[in-house]
């Protein structure tokens, strides 16, 4: 007798094949798979994208399986497998049917496969001594399962799904303590300090003066705002100043940013990275973006001719940021009178030429996750964009490629999840944000949320009205 009986949708395994063991809880729960799941995973084995790696990992897990028994009923058959791997074990029932009622209906293949999986659940419901719970990341499939009398659940992360850590702390201080603020122990000014209070706004009582600071090794470090503004992109608010500070400081190995669309996260991260290379604190910049566009077309990247095409197709935010810097720098010099009679605006060809010059000068490279296995990234600022579309396994693989000489900046937004196999509870960005709650012996972490939309009124309005739905 098992504690629970779980029927898994294909997306649960393509999100992370090891979910088999997580849900099994070392054999306490029985995992049930419809044969259709095997077919769907088998069709995903070829390729270099994340779901292809997970499909192959699932196949490797099955290689360790032993057949325990086979049961033949009137309308279905069950093959029971026992799998032991890395001190973990589980029992897995593979259910097959010779005929499916849903085959008589005309529908898209993806919908038909979902119906087959659910038909298996309904067919074997009375075979097991307890109710079956259908687990899927697809709300439509879960809703359909409810109509068939199946219990349902989405896959939740190992951490609590509800959290809203405060990263910027506001504290009032008397004027008489201003001179004592630099390098003071943070507990002196904030007895309630927590590990995730990375930034502080010290408001001087009876004054308009606000001192921006961060915490390193438990001590207060005042931000030098003028120095932070000396970069390609000038920080426009307190949040951006905090981010620029974290990027500039050698103390922080990893900077994690969750941000609204149009908040300038990619632009400012790239600007800060360029400053580090310009100051010879790092040798080059590596930009990694895990998006639906790159996942769908990643297999073709090696065959694209020329640097410009590779940058443009897979890294639109990077190219947009570089073009913005080129135009802004030209406008700044023009306003300062440093360009003489040069025309007010650059044409498209001139912009592209200057972008290529920046790529070369600051050694900017792009990578996609499929080419990172077995590599070591050294002396680099590694920018990982769209982290909300990256699974925990993939983020683990990427971060394990980065050595001690590098700095990593992780960007994302849980309001912009495009990966069908992930949700706000299971993606890598959420896991990393949870990790920011505590200090870590291995590295110095910094986390921040950018909540100010700077792109324009339409973006700000869209974020406001749709975020409330």
Is residue 201 located within the same domain as residue 256? no
Is residue 69 located within the same domain as residue 114? yes
Specify if 229 maps to a domain. no
Instruction: Give me the average pLDDT of each 10-residue run along the chain (469 residues).
Output: 94 90 93 96 83 88 94 95 90 95 86 94 94 92 91 67 76 94 96 95 94 96 94 92 96 95 90 96 91 42 47 72 88 70 76 92 87 87 93 89 96 85 83 92 94 77 64
Q: What would the two tokens of residue 184 be?
A: 């003071």
Domain carrying residue 38: 5-153
Question: How many of the other CB atoms lie within 10 Å of CB of 320?
Answer: 13
CATH of the domain at 38: 3.40.50.1010
Is residue 192 located within the same domain as residue 251? no
Is residue 360 located within the same domain as residue 382? yes
Q: What is the pLDDT of residue 373?
A: 76
CATH of the domain at 299: 3.40.50.300
**Cα angle 23, 28, 33; round to 5:** 50
Q: What is the pLDDT of residue 305?
A: 45
Domain endpoint, select from 135, 153, 171: 153
Q: What would the two tokens of residue 213 be?
A: 């600071």
Cβ atoms of 390 and 290 within 8 Å: the answer is yes
Q: What is the pLDDT of residue 456?
A: 72
* Contacts (Cβ under 8 Å, ≥6 apart) of 216: 249, 251, 444
Is residue 264 located within the same domain as residue 399? yes
Tally of domains in the chain = 3
Q: What is the pLDDT of residue 337?
A: 66
Domain endpoint, select from 222, 245, 269: 222
Is residue 58 located within the same domain as residue 30? yes
Specify if 358 maps to a domain. yes
Pair type for strands 65-72 and 30-34: unpaired
Is residue 129 located within the same domain as residue 255? no
Pair type for strands 30-34 and 5-8: parallel
Is residue 260 located within the same domain as residue 183? no
Specify if 361 maps to a domain. yes
Cβ atoms of 334 and 342 within 8 Å: the answer is yes
Is residue 392 located within the same domain as residue 285? yes
In whole angstroms, give the CA distance from residue 211 to residue 224. Answer: 10
Is residue 362 located within the same domain as residue 310? yes
Q: What is the pLDDT of residue 156?
A: 63
Specify if 230 maps to a domain. no
Specify if 227 maps to a domain. no
Domain endpoint, select from 170, 196, 222: 222
User: Burial level of 234, CB count in 10 A (0-12/13-18/19+)?
Assistant: middle
In whole angstroms, give the CA distance from residue 321 to residue 298. Answer: 22
Is residue 281 located within the same domain as residue 372? yes
Specify if 86 maps to a domain. yes
Is residue 205 located within the same domain as residue 261? no
């Amino acid at each position: 007798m098992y504690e629970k009986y779980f029927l898994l949708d294909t997306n649960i395994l393509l999100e992370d094949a090891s979910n088999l063991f997580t849900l099994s809880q070392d054999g306490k729960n029985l995992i049930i798979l419809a044969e259709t799941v095997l077919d769907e995973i088998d069709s995903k084995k070829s390729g270099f994208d994340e779901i292809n790696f997970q499909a192959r990992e699932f196949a490797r897990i099955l290689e360790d399986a032993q057949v325990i028994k086979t049961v033949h009923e009137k309308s279905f058959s069950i093959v029971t497998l026992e799998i032991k791997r890395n001190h973990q074990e589980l029992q897995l029932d593979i259910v097959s049917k010779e005929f499916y009622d849903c085959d008589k209906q005309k529908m898209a293949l993806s919908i038909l496969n979902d119906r087959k999986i659910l038909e298996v659940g309904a067919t074997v419901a009375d075979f097991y001594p307890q109710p079956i719970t259908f687990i899927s990341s697809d709300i439509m499939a879960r809703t359909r399962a409810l109509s068939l009398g199946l219990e349902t659940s989405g896959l939740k992360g190992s951490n609590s799904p509800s959290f809203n850590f405060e990263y910027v702390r506001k504290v009032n201080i008397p004027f008489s303590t201003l001179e004592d603020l630099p390098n003071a122990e943070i507990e002196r000014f904030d007895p309630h300090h927590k590990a995730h209070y990375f930034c502080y706004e010290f408001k001087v009582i009876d004054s308009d003066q606000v001192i921006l600071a961060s915490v390193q090794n438990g001590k207060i470090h005042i931000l030098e705002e003028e120095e932070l503004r000396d970069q390609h992109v000038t920080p426009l608010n307190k949040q951006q100043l905090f981010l620029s500070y974290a990027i500039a400081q050698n103390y922080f190995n990893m900077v994690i940013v969750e941000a609204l669309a149009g908040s300038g996260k990619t632009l400012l991260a790239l600007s800060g990275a360029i400053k580090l290379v310009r100051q010879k604190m790092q040798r080059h910049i590596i930009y990694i973006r895990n998006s639906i566009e790159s996942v769908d077309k990643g297999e073709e990247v090696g065959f694209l001719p020329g640097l410009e095409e590779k940058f443009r197709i897979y890294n639109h935010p990077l190219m947009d940021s570089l073009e913005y810097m080129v135009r802004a720098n030209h406008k700044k010099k023009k306003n300062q009178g440093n360009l003489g009679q040069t025309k007010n605006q650059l044409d498209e060809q001139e912009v592209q030429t200057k972008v290529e010059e920046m790529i070369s000068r600051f050694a900017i490279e792009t990578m996609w996750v499929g080419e990172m296995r077995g590599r070591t990234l050294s002396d680099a600022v590694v920018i990982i964009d769209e982290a909300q579309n990256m699974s925990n396994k993939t983020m683990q693989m990427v971060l394990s490629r980065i050595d001690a000489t590098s700095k990593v900046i992780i960007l994302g937004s849980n309001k912009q999840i495009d990966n069908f196999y992930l949700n706000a509870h299971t993606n890598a960005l959420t896991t990393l944000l949870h990790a920011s709650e505590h200090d870590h012996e291995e590295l110095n972490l910094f986390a921040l949320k950018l909540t100010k939309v700077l792109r324009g009124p339409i973006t700000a309005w869209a974020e406001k009205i749709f975020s409330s739905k």
